Amino acid sequence: MTVEAPQIPAYRTFAVRVSGIRRLSPSFLRVTFTGDDLRDCAPNGWDQRIKLLLPLPGRGISDCPTGPDWYEEWRALPPERQNPIRTYTVRATRPEAREIDVDFVLHGATGPASAWAGQAAVGDEVALVAPNARFPGPTGGYEWHPPADASCLVVAGDETAVPAVCAIVESLPAGRPARILLEIPTADDVLPLAAPDGVEVTWLPRRVATEPAAPHGALLTAALVRAVQDLPGATGTSRPSMLDDVDVDASILWEVPEDTADGRTSGPYVWLAGEAGTIKGLRRHLVQEAGLDRTSIAFMGYWRLGRVSD
């Protein structure tokens, strides 16, 4: 009789509790989670995505799925027992200390994650679905895959992308040219960031002192349009459209090159994440007007203005 070995999932559920809370700025809050089995959370870095399962009143995380097919288990639960799920980026993982940091953007009680973070306390319990270090292969869940010979890196996003971008910047080798553009709510939200030599970081606060706030995405769009004008590989002329229209109110804008290593000449690599309407406009400009190679750009709509969803 043959006994099949148990399947090891690429992602698994970790029961964790809050061990530390640090207010980084008016809009950013860092929550440190700890758990006995976080030593098995893969420290991939970059823009690693995880799922946060928030506690339910009176039930906590007792109904959170624990099996390898966690999502189907969650879907099979009655709606009133489904813990709210939100996607976040890991800011730092310390397996040896059984700790993981997640940075939250605070925007009041407009969504379950921001509402939870605004009232979080040490000892609070949540569940994380995160990459499994015991999985015998790449776990995936991150989109930072620049070609080794890219002539220049351009990384841009709004406040929801700041944790991912900061982790990417800290992983860059010294001397690799990179331009980083980050739109944030206020001037007080500029965070300390250790950028290697050759990396230029520009923070774009929408509100400065008593001046009227800029519309969301306007500063990021203008800065990125300027930044790509002199990039090698940007033609500056329009090319026939090869873009399908994406209805960002009905679907997810998420286009990432599957393979950034083969069949490509050395040129700029662009990584964009943030509000889906802004990313859609930049997608059109970079491909149709700036003439950048579409297969060298990652477009990710992390959220949509006016929608509350994961």
In tens, the pLDDT along 224-271 reads: 999 998 776 555 544 544 677 888 888 889 999 875 455 455 689 999
- 1.10.10.350, 3.40.718.10, 3.40.50.80, 3.30.200.20: CATH of 152-303: 3.40.50.80
Confidence check: pLDDT of 4 > 60? no
Confidence check: pLDDT of 25 > 50? yes
Tokens 């310390």 -> residue: 94
Give burial (CB, 10 Å; 0-12/13-18/19+) of 18: middle
Q: Are 183 and 204 in contact (CB under 8 A)?
A: yes
Q: What pLDDT, on the 0 to 100 scale, is given for residue 291? A: 85
In the chain, where does the domain assigned CATH 3.40.50.80 lie?
152-303
Q: In what order do the strands lie in the sheet with 199-207?
A: 199-207, 178-186, 152-157, 268-275, 297-303, 254-255
Determine phi and psi for 106, rounding to 5 degrees. Answer: -90, 125
Average pLDDT of span 117-128: 97
- Of the two residues 21 and 212, the one the predictor is more confident about is 21
For the chain, how big is the Rg over CA atoms in Å?
A: 20
Whether the full predicted model's pTM is greater than 0.95, yes or no, is: no
pLDDT per residue over 135-157, tens digit each?
Answer: 999 999 999 999 988 889 999 99
Average pLDDT of span 285-300: 90
Whole-angstrom CA distances from 239 to 170, 227, 251, 293 are: 35, 19, 26, 11
Query: What is the architecture, at CATH level 2, of domain 11-131?
Result: Beta Barrel (2.40)
Q: What pLDDT, on the 0 to 100 scale, is given for residue 149? A: 87
Whole-angstrom CA distances from 294 to 258, 267, 287, 289, 290 are: 12, 12, 6, 12, 11
Q: What pLDDT, on the 0 to 100 scale, is given for residue 240? A: 44
Give burial (CB, 10 Å; 0-12/13-18/19+) of 291: middle
Long-range contacts of 262-267 (CB under 8 A, 24+ apart): 264/147, 264/293, 264/295, 264/296, 266/147, 266/149, 266/150, 266/151, 267/150, 267/151, 267/231, 267/232, 267/233, 267/292, 267/293, 267/296
E strands within the chain? 11-23, 28-34, 49-53, 85-94, 99-105, 125-131, 152-157, 178-186, 199-207, 254-255, 268-275, 297-303
Q: What pLDDT, on the 0 to 100 scale, is given for residue 111? A: 86
Q: What pLDDT, on the 0 to 100 scale, is given for residue 100? A: 97
Distance CA 93, CA 33 (A): 10
Q: What pLDDT, on the 0 to 100 scale, is given for residue 310? A: 57
Q: How many residues does the chain have?
A: 310
Distance CA 193, CA 211 (A): 26
Q: Are 153 and 182 in contact (CB under 8 A)?
A: no
pLDDT per residue over 299-308, tens digit each?
Answer: 999 999 877 6
Q: What pLDDT, on the 0 to 100 scale, is given for residue 238? A: 43
pLDDT per residue over 160-186, tens digit each?
Answer: 999 999 999 999 999 999 999 999 999
Tokens 């329009």 -> residue: 238
DSSP 101-112: EEEEE-BTBSSH
Q: What pLDDT, on the 0 to 100 scale, is given for residue 251? A: 86
Q: What pLDDT, on the 0 to 100 scale, is given for residue 3? A: 44
Distance CA 45, CA 43 (A): 6
pLDDT per residue over 48-101, tens digit each?
Answer: 999 999 999 999 999 999 998 999 999 999 999 999 999 999 999 999 999 999
Average pLDDT, the chain: 90
In the chain, where does the domain assigned CATH 2.40.30.10 lie?
11-131
Q: Are 35 and 14 in contact (CB under 8 A)?
A: yes
Tokens 């992602």 -> residue: 11
Average pLDDT of span 286-290: 89
